[in-house]
Structure 1
Amino acid sequence: MAWNEPGKDDKDPWKNKGGKNQGPPDLDDLLKDLSNKVGGIFGGKSSGGGSGKSFSSIGIGLILIVAVLVYVFSGFYTVKEAEKGIVLRFGQYAGTVEPGLRWKWTFIERIIPVDIQTTRDLPAAGFMLTQDENVVRVEMQIQYRVVDPRNYIFSVTNADDSLSQSLDSALRYVVGHARMDDILTSGREKVRQEVWTELEKIIEPYNLGLIIVDVNFKDARPPEEVKDAFDDAIAAQEDEVRFLREAEAYARGIEPRARGRVKRMEQEALAYKQQTVLDAEGEVARFEKLLPEYQAAPDVTRQRLYISSMEKVYSNTSKVMIDVEGGNNMIYLPLDKIMEQQSTVQRRMPQSATNTGNSTNTTNTAPSISGRSDRFNGGRN
């Protein structure tokens, strides 16, 4: 049975409490009591008198000091060495700050750090249609860096995403205006440069605050269905390039030697020319010195020239012919045969015997020649 049924007053929780019959608490009395207590803490009337008022003033001061210290220390922040900070005051751009320890107005200013030194990578890849209506998969990667933090944050919604879309557009444009053979083989560098140029042209009006550091052409390959045929074609082109390099290397090796031979022949010709000129000048000088002698004594000079000429002629032969005056005989001395016979004997004999034989043969040969000479002289006399 409920406590509030008629005739059940003894079960009312607000009555008979503490032995007294009391009703529910008055809400106004509760609020008034709470207000008096709070007013006593903050300097109002309280049951404590003057000491309560002094305590409340000190408490308020301490709270204010702590709040100020917390606010001040909460405003310190650090900008890293590779970053620049963008200051927003009430959401509006208010400038940039350099790296280091800084302070800002908390709840008034906000700092957005932007890395301006790190080089970032952005890849791009996909199947694309070339100018000669072939499909090729191209992979490329760019490297970029932030140079203007304000434009990087505020010029577009997302600068990195805008750069990615611009790279894809530039790559497809360049590949669409190039032949597949050039993309796969010799035209890769040209494609890379054209993509770089086209990308800078696309992003320039948007002021993204970025700079393109490098563009890397990573890979280009045909679809798997025709990959083998294209591999053979590429191998043939590489062989062609290799043969050309080998031919150029051979030409570079042959040409210096040929030029060296030409230079040597030129030097020899110049030397021969100088020698001939000097010989002619020497003959002229000798003739000029000989002419006065000839004019003074023609017969004697003529005889001396004849003897000198004959001496030069016979000095180049190993045969000696002696004309004996007063007779009709001419003696022939085969000196070459004699010398050849002596060399044969020396080769056949031992070393010790050869040395002894040399002295013996020399001793034995000399008298025979001298004897013949005596005979010739005796016959001539």
Structure 2
Amino acid sequence: MNWDWEKLSEQKRRQGSPLPDPGRFGEDLGKKLSTFKPRLPGGPKIAVLVVLLLWAASGIYIVEPDEAGVVQRFGAYVLITGPGPHYHLPFPIETVKTPKVSQVRRVEIGFRSVYGRSGESLQNRSVPEESLMLTGDENIVDVQFSVQYQIANAVDYLFRIDHPEETVKSAAEAAMREVMGDAQIDSVLTSGKLKVQNDTKVLLQTMLERYGSGIDILAVQLQDVHPPKEVVEAFKDVASAREDKSRFINEADAYFNDILPKARGRAAAILNEATAYREQTIRRAKGGADRFSALRTEYDKARDVTRERLYIEGMESLLSTPELEKIILSDEAARQAVPYLPLGQLPPAAAPGDGAGRTEAPKADPAKAAKGGRP
């Protein structure tokens, strides 16, 4: 340093300019500062006042609509504030925490979602140490599920438990293992998933209330339930067989529900037709009997006239029927002609061993055998 100073002195001397004295330079700087300080109005008092104002203003805080303001005084809970601007005593006297009480939080158990650069979920990474569970019938099942929850009590959430997310995760895994331990694997893989979700939700909520966590469980959702990879194919075959069974039962029920009303309707129609036929036959027979009784009364009063009228009505009915084949012979022609037998209308001969083994002679048709006179 001495050599440098001497070299610099020699250089300045040659140039003709005096060198500054280091000691004199410090003294000049102190004098300038002493003359500058009195020029500030108030001096250090203003600076202290500004610092105090900034410290007091640090107590202003705003609570968002989805938050709750929890004020602490020397670390102890004092009060809770709602949305809007508020004020608390500056740090370190009071502090405030604003947890989001309306935010729906989600915890994954048995798997972890893997997200891409744009934020979309690409795939789920399995976590076997969390997902493998034992059912009530001693079968191993791989259960992946998620839990959705909200903050119900901000004070309990902040001060009663440490690491709330880890607490919910551990409690949810314990609750699911307990529910699975009481269930059968067939029910878990097929129709019992909804019951498993509801039972786990109730049990998890009970556990967290016992902890005083201030957490409200919104839903427990099963993401994937399947047997271990070693036996998954066999379980798929069983599940397919059960689905086929259910489908066949549904088809049979549908056919039953379709054919039974039709059969009942047909049976009711047949019964109505039979009832109508019965009433018709009874009324017709009763009318015939009444008519015969009336004719009997008239016949007793005038037998010849009644006989003649009945004969005329019978012949009129026979002759006015176009479908009926009629052969009319006079008395003289009937005495000369061979008696007419309707051989083409004879019934077939009885089979051997049938009754008496003989056939009855056909009855003569009175219209075909009419001779033109009275019988």
TM-score, with length taken from structure 1: 0.63
| Alignment correspondent of 1:112 | 98
CA deviation string 1:275-312 (max 9, x = no partner): 23432454455456656544543332233334434555
Following the alignment from structure 1 to structure 2, what is the Cα–Cα distance between the partners of residues 179 and 204? 28
Question: For residues 66 and 141 of structure 1, do their structure 2 counterparts lie closer, same or farther at Cα, with a shift above 3 Å needed?
Answer: closer
| Alignment correspondent of 2:179 | 174
Between the aligned residues of both structures, percent identity stands at: 32
8 Å Cα contact 2:70/2:154 also seen in 1: no
Task: Report 1:31-180 matches (<5 A).
Answer: 38=37, 41-42=40-41, 75=60, 77=62, 79-80=64-65, 83-90=66-73, 91=75, 92-98=77-83, 101-105=84-88, 107=90, 108=94, 110-116=96-102, 118-125=103-110, 126-180=131-185
What is the total number of aligned residue pairs between the two structures? 307
- Out of 302, 319, 326, the position equivalent to 2:307 is 302
Following the alignment from structure 1 to structure 2, what is the Cα–Cα distance between the partners of residues 129 and 237? 22
8 Å Cα contact 1:137/1:220 also seen in 2: yes
Following the alignment from structure 1 to structure 2, what is the Cα–Cα distance between the partners of residues 166 and 284? 93
**Greater RCO between the two (CA within 8 Å, min separation 6)?**
2
Corresponding letter in the other structure for 1:131: G
| Largest Rg, 1 or 2 | 1
Cα root mean square deviation, aligned = 4.7
Following the alignment from structure 2 to structure 1, what is the Cα–Cα distance between the partners of residues 242 and 33? 96
Question: For residues 277 and 150 of structure 1, do their structure 2 counterparts lie closer, same or farther at Cα, with a shift above 3 Å needed?
Answer: farther
Partner SS, residue 319 of structure 1 = coil
Question: For residues 265 and 119 of structure 1, do their structure 2 counterparts lie closer, same or farther at Cα, with a shift above 3 Å needed?
Answer: farther
Following the alignment from structure 2 to structure 1, what is the Cα–Cα distance between the partners of residues 39 and 207? 71
Q: Does 1:255 align with 2:238?
A: no
| Alignment correspondent of 1:363 | none
Following the alignment from structure 1 to structure 2, what is the Cα–Cα distance between the partners of residues 150 and 172? 30
The farther-off stretch of 155-164 and 273-282 is: 273-282
**Unaligned residue ranges in structure 2 (runs of 5+):** 4-8, 10-17, 111-130, 341-370
Following the alignment from structure 1 to structure 2, what is the Cα–Cα distance between the partners of residues 330 and 311? 27
Partner SS, residue 102 of structure 1 = strand
Higher percent of residues as helix: 1
CA deviation string 1:28-56 (max 9, x = no partner): x9989967854553459xxxxxxxxxxx9
- Out of 216, 235, 240, the position equivalent to 1:235 is 240
**Unaligned residue ranges in structure 1 (runs of 5+):** 4-9, 11-17, 45-55, 334-375
Following the alignment from structure 2 to structure 1, what is the Cα–Cα distance between the partners of residues 336 and 190? 91
Partner SS, residue 198 of structure 1 = helix
Corresponding letter in the other structure for 1:183: V
CA deviation string 1:153-201 (max 9, x = no partner): 3332233322211110011112223333333334333333332332233
8 Å Cα contact 1:84/1:96 also seen in 2: no
Question: For residues 200 and 71 of structure 1, do their structure 2 counterparts lie closer, same or farther at Cα, with a shift above 3 Å needed?
Answer: closer
Question: For residues 19 and 277 of structure 1, do their structure 2 counterparts lie closer, same or farther at Cα, with a shift above 3 Å needed?
Answer: closer
Partner SS, residue 161 of structure 2 = coil
Task: Report 1:365-376 matches (<5 A).
Answer: none
- Out of 225, 243, 246, the position equivalent to 2:251 is 246
Corresponding letter in the other structure for 2:326: V
Corresponding letter in the other structure for 2:69: I
Corresponding letter in the other structure for 1:221: H
8 Å Cα contact 1:145/1:210 also seen in 2: yes
Following the alignment from structure 1 to structure 2, what is the Cα–Cα distance between the partners of residues 158 and 68? 36
CA deviation string 1:52-88 (max 9, x = no partner): xxxx99xx59x979986996698363513xx132231
Shift of 1:142: 2.8
8 Å Cα contact 1:86/1:114 also seen in 2: no
Partner SS, residue 203 of structure 1 = helix
Shift of 1:238: 2.4
8 Å Cα contact 1:322/1:330 also seen in 2: no
8 Å Cα contact 1:146/1:209 also seen in 2: yes
Question: For residues 313 and 212 of structure 1, do their structure 2 counterparts lie closer, same or farther at Cα, with a shift above 3 Å needed?
Answer: farther
Question: For residues 151 and 323 of structure 1, do their structure 2 counterparts lie closer, same or farther at Cα, with a shift above 3 Å needed?
Answer: farther
Corresponding letter in the other structure for 1:41: L
Following the alignment from structure 2 to structure 1, what is the Cα–Cα distance between the partners of residues 288 and 200? 80
Following the alignment from structure 1 to structure 2, what is the Cα–Cα distance between the partners of residues 70 and 20? 45
The farther-off stretch of 278-287 and 200-209 is: 278-287
